[in-house]
Amino acid sequence: MSKNIMVVDDNADIRNVVVATFENEGWSAVGVSDGPTALKKLEDLRPDLVVLDILMPGMSGIDVCREIRQRSSVPIVFLSARDEDVDRIVGLEIGADDYVTKPFNPRELVARAKAIFRRTESSGNSVSKTEIGENVLVHGKLMLDVERFKAFWADEHIELTKTEFLLLRTLMRQPGRVFSRDELMKGAYDDGMFVSDRTIDSHIRRLRSKLAEIGADPIETVRGVGYTLGELA
């Protein structure tokens, strides 16, 4: 299936190489040189993936990522230099899905993009005892359509990022069970990617905030252990 990708990097050489690499995969790729332009094009392009350089003049990739997350749950992969560890961590905490360190092999970037697409597209393939039908999880008024990657509270759609959705899916498969941060990481990053406990906490905090906005507060913290999905009416 064809994918639409936006590549945001102020370095024209890197931008052009990444665009060409994606196009060689049969995907559509558009290069953008700065953050403000990327934000303007986001609605029109409706990309399946955004590849975003962290250090850009004017508006940094961190700021662009933060702004995108106010509008969209599109997967984001950061391009970062080796000395940008702190920025990478911040990026993951505010909603990025992965990162590639410069200098990088363009094929690695393609592999990571494919892993993200597989994770998104196959998230509903495994059926658990708590599902109704084949691809729906229900817990009280909370419902996940794992095939369409959509979440609802009392029929009201909840806009979640891919990582937030997968975390909620993991919790909803076994309501009442306490999941450690390591177990939640494996549920949300099934390609083996490692993230810190702090990153998991940050994703859970944003997920809770979104649920609270529509009147739901089902996720409970079990101190020293992890998180669980509490009872709902």
- Asked whether residue 227 carries a pLDDT value surpassing 90, the answer given is yes
Q: Are residues 99 and 177 in the same domain?
A: no
Report the distance separating Cα 51 and Cα 19, nearest Å.
Answer: 10
Q: Are residues 138 and 106 in the same domain?
A: no
**CATH for 206:** 1.10.10.10
Task: Please tell me the predicted confidence (pLDDT) of residue 116.
Answer: 83
Q: Are residues 23 and 117 in the same domain?
A: yes
Q: pTM for the whole thing?
A: 0.58
Measured over the CA atoms of residue 59, residue 63, residue 64 and residue 70, the dihedral's sign is negative
Last residue of a domain, one of 80, 97, 121: 121
Instruction: Let me know: does 143 contact 137? Beta carbons within 8 Å.
Output: yes
Kindly state whether residue 71 falls inside one of the protein's structural domains. yes
Kindly state whether residue 18 falls inside one of the protein's structural domains. yes
Nearest to 7 by CA among 44, 57, 58, 61: 61
Segments forming the whole domain that contains residue 195: 131-229
- Asked whether residue 188 carries a pLDDT value surpassing 90, the answer given is no
Kindly state whether residue 126 falls inside one of the protein's structural domains. no
Residue 30 — pLDDT band, cuts 50, 70, 90?
very high
Kindly state whether residue 9 falls inside one of the protein's structural domains. yes
Q: Are residues 36 and 72 in the same domain?
A: yes
Nearest to 189 by CA among 167, 205, 172: 167
Q: Are residues 8 and 114 in the same domain?
A: yes
What mean pLDDT is predicted for residues 15-43?
94
Nearest to 190 by CA among 82, 137, 124, 116: 116
What mean pLDDT is predicted for residues 21-39?
95
Number of domains, the chain? 2
- Asked whether residue 130 carries a pLDDT value surpassing 60, the answer given is no
Q: Are residues 30 and 109 in the same domain?
A: yes
- Asked whether residue 197 carries a pLDDT value surpassing 70, the answer given is yes
Nearest to 199 by CA among 96, 104, 130, 109: 96
Q: What percent of the chain has pLDDT over 90?
A: 34
For tokens 């309501």, the residue is: 175
Q: Are residues 136 and 113 in the same domain?
A: no
Q: Are residues 146 and 220 in the same domain?
A: yes
Residue 123 — pLDDT band, cuts 50, 70, 90?
very low
pLDDT tens-place string over residues 134-156: 478 888 888 888 878 888 887 78
Kindly state whether residue 37 falls inside one of the protein's structural domains. yes
Residue 175 — pLDDT band, cuts 50, 70, 90?
confident
- Asked whether residue 61 carries a pLDDT value surpassing 70, the answer given is yes
- Asked whether residue 128 carries a pLDDT value surpassing 50, the answer given is no
Last residue of a domain, one of 121, 153, 185: 121
Q: Are residues 158 and 114 in the same domain?
A: no
Q: Is 11 exposed, middle or buried (0-12, 13-18, 19+ CB in 10 A)?
A: middle
Kindly state whether residue 177 falls inside one of the protein's structural domains. yes
Residue 87 — pLDDT band, cuts 50, 70, 90?
confident
**CATH for 82:** 3.40.50.2300
Task: Please tell me the predicted confidence (pLDDT) of residue 191.
Answer: 61
Q: Which one-letter DSSP state was computed for residue 91?
A: H
